[in-house]
Structure 1
Amino acid sequence: MSGAGGAADGAGGAMGGAGAPAGGLLVVGDVVTDVVARHRGPLAPATDTPADIRTVPGGAGANAACWAASSGCPDVRLLARVGRDATAWHDRRLRGSGVRPLLIPDADATAATVISLVDTATAERTFLTDSGAVHRMSPADWSPALLDGIAHLHLSGYLLFAEPCRQLALMARESARAAGVTVSLDPASTGFIGALGIETFLALTEEIDVLLPNAAEASFLTGLPEPADAAAKLSRRFPLVAVTLGAAGALVAAGGEVVARVAAPQARAVDSTGAGDAFTGGFLAARLRGASPAEAAEAGCRAGALAVGVVGGRPGAG
């Protein structure tokens, strides 16, 4: 860790901090079937491109929950809607990762599916997304009782991009605030934010305690190209902001200024799918243990470094 790590301790009011009460983590988000195609060289239009193809469990919310569990959070729960055709498979995989699934089978939709095209030369990926049952979540799927024993609620930003799951996310946030439970959110997708509208997105995320964007999302939301400037600006709206910078690590902002910069461990990148979700899971698990924001960012970077070394977005997926 480098930078003003001590100053970050002052941002502890947003989610836990030293002496935080024990409690679990509830993630509300998406469970996805990922088809990961790792291709060597450019895609060849209108013909075949050799690739290594695997089907693995994914989803930003589910991935973050699994990484939080693998990072030491003893009570991680995931609320999500999934196509009935794949509910049992996803349930087994989540339980195997130490997550308590609260899955809602949907008989009228298939499981969300993402085709992830990964260039092996750069480990960068392009997504083709079928949201399936994810965007069919609704307020009927929510109950304030889901927060029993929960110290922190994490919302996947994907919930904000369609009705009625947007209303579920807002209802969950309000229930959390009424219960004194802190709330975090990852913005999820610049493409979807652009379609929704930046001002609409920012209005929907009012009263979020912790924002966890990547550098592209932070810059997109603020119009500022430098991640540090974007993080500082966002932290005037959100009490705590942690921006991931890929191989360059992460930075933490609070009160309108960057308060910590964290280096990422060296890692051999195989597939960057889920690296941001891993950071989220590691960060939240550390905060729930009472870590400072800077220490939590270090934990998130460690999880992210592990994530890029496996195929897919879950711990040990490779």
Structure 2
Amino acid sequence: MTRIAVLGSTNMDLVAYVSKAPGRGETVTGHEFRTIPGGKGANQAVAAARAGGTVSMIGAVGVDAFGSRLRAALEQSGVDTGALRTIEGPSGTAHIVVDDEGGNAIVVIPGANGTVTTLTDDDEAVIARADLLLLQLESPLEGVVSAADVARRHGVRVVLTPSPAQALPAGLLAATDLLVPNEHEAAALTGITEPYEAAEALLEQVPEVVITLGSAGSLYASRDAGKIMVPAQRVTAVDSTGAGDTFVGALSVALGEGRPMPEALAWASSAAALSVQRSGASTAMPYRIEIDELAEQEKQRKHLS
């Protein structure tokens, strides 16, 4: 079974569902509000655990009620929270508006996540035992860089989601094996909006890139194996909030199992397709049996067409 360490954020998602997102200075009436455990780190941990990985979460929650609920939600999905610290102060929150077309806008307040600037000896041991380390950028950059350095020293594959997009230190890029931006993040990192060209530019800094393209699928590029485009399944999106994290979590499990990249990408695409048909982020993430079933259906559909 794939062993995955995740260093990243745990947030309570405060989600307002509206027909149309408000513009600047505009007030609209929503039709539903939910509090849902989330955070990019926690989301990827849950996605990987539900997809069949053995997952450990490194991060921090606050002493508030959100912190207790965030920890419980991870554990209920099978994530080991032994390295998830509890610190004085509030937990992180994400304030999300989801419109009727499944689009979203998000404001993140780091809270406890902002304290994860260094690693403990236990954190380093968790990373050293893993097959893959998943990183994102909702945690302080100092902690992310430290974790990547530990992984590199121990031969652990580093998968980095550069979100929210920002300038990345050369040392972090040097320690990254697989970079997984969406098309907007890829453009922000390179200044290039065309995905194939952006992928080429990113390969100057990392050996492998997967650019997620929403309903268009995903683009894989590597220095050694060229480029592969994998289309997304055609589904009606209800809420796309956690789709990218679902994709990364499932992809990491598939890669840890030694699947070829085209198969791993197709399987991860099935996981993301299932998640966007449900409301919420972590609560919408599918289990392995569901991913296997949809992936097999898609394989049969392509065979018959």
Q: TM-score, normalised by structure 1?
A: 0.83
Deviation at residue 99 of structure 1 after TM alignment: 1.3
* Contact kept in structure 2, 1:215 and 1:245, CA below 8 Å: yes
State the 1:87 CA deviation.
2.7
Give the match for residue 171 of structure 1. Answer: 146
5+ residue gaps, structure 2, are 287-305
- Which residue does the alignment assign to 1:52? 32
**Is it true that 1:289 corresponds to 2:257 in the alignment?**
yes
Shift of 1:145: 1.4
> Quick one: distance in 2 between partners of 1:276 and 1:65?
12
What's the CA shift for 1:29?
0.2
Q: Deviations over 1:284-312 (max 9, x none)?
A: 01001101222221122111111211221
Q: Could you tell me how far apart the structure 2 residues matched to 1:88 and 1:272 are?
A: 26
Distance 1:222 1:280 in 2: 21
Partner of 2:181: 213
Cα distance in structure 2, aligned partners of 1:219 and 1:257? 22
Change (3 A) 1:256 1:149: closer
Cα distance in structure 2, aligned partners of 1:202 and 1:309: 38
Give 5+ residue unaligned stretches, structure 1: 1-21, 160-164
Matched, 1:32 2:11: yes
Name the aligned partner's letter for residue 91 of structure 1.
R
Deviation at 1:131, TM superposition (A): 1.0
- 1:232-291 Cα deviation digits (max 9, x unpaired): 221232111111000010010001875211011122211110111011001101001101
Per the alignment, residue 100 of structure 1 pairs with 80
Q: Select 1:230's aligned residue among 177, 198, 201.
A: 198
Would you say the 8 A contact 2:255–2:261 is kept in 1?
yes
Contact in 1 for aligned 2:52/2:253 (Cα 8 Å)? yes
Aligned length: 282
Change (3 A) 1:216 1:308: same
The aligned residue for residue 114 of structure 1 is: 94
The 10-residue stretch of structure 1 (46-55 or 29-38) with the greater mean CA deviation from structure 2: 46-55
Alignment match of 1:72 (pick from 52, 72, 82): 52
Residue matched to 1:189: 164
Matches within 5 A, 1:302-313: 302-313=270-281
- How far apart, in 2, do the equivalents of 1:157 and 1:46 lie? 30
**Structure 1 counterpart of 2:297:** none
Give the 3-state SS of the residue equivalent to 1:220 in structure 2: helix
Which residue number corresponds to residue 69 of structure 2? 89
Structure 1 counterpart of 2:160, one-letter code: L
Q: Using the TM superposition, give the Cα deviation of residue 96 of structure 1 relative to its aligned residue in structure 2, in angstroms.
A: 1.2
Task: Give identity over the alignment, percent.
Answer: 32
Instruction: Please give the TM-score of this superposition, normalised by the length of structure 2.
Output: 0.86
CA contact (8 A) 2:62 2:90 kept: yes
Equivalent positions of 1:253-268 (< 5 A) are 253-255=221-223, 258-268=226-236
Q: Which has the higher contact order (CA 8 A, sep 6+)?
A: 1
Measured at CA, do residues 186 and 317 of structure 1 come closer, stay the same or move farther in structure 2, by a change above 3 Å?
A: closer
CA RMSD of aligned residues (A): 2.0
| 3-state SS, counterpart of residue 157 of structure 1 | coil
- Counterpart-to-counterpart distance in 1, 2:90 and 2:131: 32
